[in-house]
Amino acid sequence: MPTATPLRPRVWLPLVAGVGVAVVLGVYGRLHEPVGTTDVLGFLRLQTAKVWLATGVGILAFVQVVSAAVIYRPRPAPGWVAGLHRWNGRLALLLSVPVAVHCLYRFGLRFDTPRVLAHSLLGCLFYGAFATKMLLLSRPGRGSGWALPVAGGVVLTAVAGLWLTSALWFFATIGVSW
């Protein structure tokens, strides 16, 4: 019977760092005193802007999945696919930052309802998994083969969960607005 091989430092160190990011965000969100919010340009509520930014992140996450599937297929991917994957990921992260900053400052980590608790925890998971993925990319061996796709899958799962607990909820309860 084969014995389980322990996680090598090139995998567990990024994992520990990612868990650290998630925990720090969660602790900060829980201990931080939430502050008020403002409207954008007097007519576009900040919440609506966040919903549309989150929807953009969700669309870009779909592009990430498709481009990753092309990269990881048995045949070599066209040269432009890796660049598309990198720049699309950068844009998705860039769109997510104002949403996350507003959520942390305005609301913090809350557990009022199961939806809000899930959303808060998924936000922490997203940035922790993202940090893990980026650190795995910088390691020799690119994350030991299996670790990088798993980290990417966790990032995607967190994005999907965040969108479901925020943007979809907003569209279903408030409606689609600009």
In tens, the pLDDT along 53-104 reads 999 999 999 999 999 999 888 888 898 999 999 999 999 999 999 999 988 8
DSSP state of 112: S
Express as a percent the part of the chain with pLDDT over 70.
85
Q: What is the pLDDT of residue 7?
A: 53
Q: How confident is the model at residue 43 (pLDDT cuts 50, 70, 90)?
A: very low
Task: Count Cβ atoms below 10 Å from residue 120 Cβ, excluding itself.
Answer: 24
Q: Which residue's entry shows tokens 């925890």?
A: 121
Domain boundaries, the chain: 13-31+46-173
**C-alpha span between 19 and 144 (Å, rounded):** 19
Q: Tokens for 32?
A: 């931080």
- In the DSSP assignment, the letter for residue 177 is -
Which CA distances in Å does 166 have to 15, 31, 119, 162?
Answer: 27, 22, 7, 6
| Sign (positive or negative) of CA dihedral 160, 162, 165, 166 | negative
Indicate whether 168 pLDDT > 90: yes
CA-closest candidate to residue 96, choices 65, 126, 62: 126
Distance between CA 63 and CA 82 in Å, rounded?
12
Confidence of residue 22 (pLDDT cuts 50, 70, 90): very high
The pLDDT tens digits for 128-164 are: 999 999 999 887 665 457 888 899 999 999 999 999 9
- Give the 3-state secondary structure of residue 78: coil
Whether the Cβ atoms of residue 100 and residue 32 lie closer than 8 Å to each other: no
Q: Which residue has the higher pLDDT, 33 or 168?
A: 168
* Mean pLDDT value across residues 38-53: 70
What pTM, to 2 d.p., does this model score?
0.83
Torsion region of 142: left, alpha or beta (phi above 0 gives left; psi -120 to 50 gives alpha): left
Question: What is the distance between the alpha carbons of residues 88 and 90, in angstroms, rounded to a whole number?
Answer: 5
Confidence (pLDDT) at 144: 55
